[in-house]
Amino acid sequence: MKMIDLRSDTVTQPTPEMREAMYRAEAGDDVLGEDPTVNRLEEMAAQRMGQEAALLVVSGTMGNLVALLAHCGRGNEVILGDRSHTFLFEQGGMAALGGIVPRLIPNQPDGTLRLTDIEGAIRGDNVHFPRTRLVCLENTHNMCNGTPLTVEYTAQVASLAHERGLRVHLDGARVFNAAAALGVDVRDVAQDVDSVMFCLSKGLCAPVGSILCGSAEFIAEARRARKVVGGGMRQAGILAAAGIVALEQIAPRLAEDHVRAKRLAAGLAEIPGVDVAPVATNILYFWLTKETSKTQDEVVDGLKERGVLLMGRLDGRFRAVTHYWITDEDVERTLQAMREIMA
Ligand SMILES: Cc1ncc(COP(=O)(O)O)c(C=O)c1O
């Protein structure tokens, strides 16, 4: 029985085309700037994002960390959402390793930060205060139902930040999903921010890697930060080759995953005892209502017995994520399994 793995888009296996490209990749010492495949991927990524330069890093966590290290000095403050991945799930790396102070403001249910909250969190010039340096956004917003932030909203935040002498970093782990859901070019989503990180190894299916984009000056600084956290890779062209395939072949098809997530959501919403959050991209949250006596464990275990994996026990919610390897038939099988469990 095929396991239907809806736990995350990070479980995606590389495609056969990626494996072939990796096998054939030209490689060199990337710390010396001599890996032609990495250089090609970085140029391609910068161009796609409409930014000057790009840097291949090991992971999204490393991309966000080196971005913050490059933007901020020790004792500087970063304004970010209280449900952001960077705050919740990256071990507080900015503080632990960079001496950077997180200043939390509430994420709204759609993943946005209120402009008035951002404004209110910006520090004045006072010897008692850390200096505010940066605002971080997340698009799509993982913990806020995978919602995409609009181009207009991002522009508003950037304009407020820039007026106040701050920069904006975008955790765009799934920024290609955001662009697909908004029906715009990814460049439009990234055009107003000073740096953007996106992941090759989530919905884009590559085995390893994320990319940080920004100005040439910023990327030079980030390259130093990557080295000090041990992220300088040598013959990384083997990995970059898969990243090139990801951009060329997988990025254009992400809307299909969104259609399947919506179909799954619609089917789940019809099952008594199940409530579903609004779905805009490939991330779907649902939960059990008071009408049912079923427990979360019964659902997670029942699904597993029927060959379906998802994330349970996330503050009372379940998360299912569609991706390249989830077919229409898998969606139907998942719904059938849920109907059986909830009956
Ligand atoms: C929004 C967001 N940012 C950053 C990351 C970190 O990426 P990685 O797991 O590659 O470190 C994730 C991972 O799930 C994420 O969802």
Q: Over 80: is that where the pLDDT of 34 sits?
A: yes
pLDDT in tens, 164-209: 999 999 999 999 999 999 999 999 999 999 999 999 999 999 999 9
pLDDT band at 305 (very low <50, low <70, confident <90, very high): very high
| pLDDT at residue 41, as a whole number | 98
| pLDDT at residue 316, as a whole number | 85
Coil, helix or strand at residue 269:
helix
| pLDDT at residue 312, as a whole number | 87
Tally of CA atoms within 13 A in the half-sphere of 57 that contains its CB = 31
Atom index in ligand 1 nearest the CA of residue 84 equals 1
How far, in Å, is the centroid of ligand 1 from the Cα of 291?
34
How far, in Å, is the centroid of ligand 1 from the Cα of 88?
11
Q: How many C-beta neighbours within 10 Å does residue 343 have?
A: 9
Mean predicted lDDT score pLDDT of the chain: 97
How far, in Å, is the centroid of ligand 1 from the Cα of 94?
15
Phi, psi of 4 (to 5 degrees): -95, 105
Q: Is 84 in the pocket of ligand 1 (CB under 6 A)?
A: no
Coil, helix or strand at residue 271:
coil
The rounded percent of the chain whose pLDDT value lies above 90 is 98
| pLDDT at residue 252, as a whole number | 98
pLDDT band at 129 (very low <50, low <70, confident <90, very high): very high
Q: Over 90: is that where the pLDDT of 1 sits?
A: no
Q: Over 80: is that where the pLDDT of 158 sits?
A: yes
Q: Is 171 in the pocket of ligand 1 (CB under 6 A)?
A: yes
pLDDT in tens, 44-100: 999 999 999 999 999 999 999 999 999 999 999 999 999 999 999 999 999 999 999
Q: Is 138 in the pocket of ligand 1 (CB under 6 A)?
A: yes
Residue 334: what residue type? T
The rounded percent of the chain whose pLDDT value lies above 70 is 100
Q: Whose Cα sits closest to atom 13 in ligand 1? A: 60
Cα 95 to Cα 77: distance, rounded to the nearest angstrom: 10
Q: Is 281 in the pocket of ligand 1 (CB under 6 A)?
A: no
How far, in Å, is the centroid of ligand 1 from the Cα of 175?
12
Among 94, 142, 145, 226, say which to mutate for ligand 1: greatest number of ligand atoms within 8 Å of CB: 142
Q: Whose Cα sits closest to atom 16 in ligand 1? A: 142
Q: Over 90: is that where the pLDDT of 315 sits?
A: no
Q: Is 80 in the pocket of ligand 1 (CB under 6 A)?
A: no
- Summarize the chain as % helix, strand, coil (round to 5): 45, 20, 35
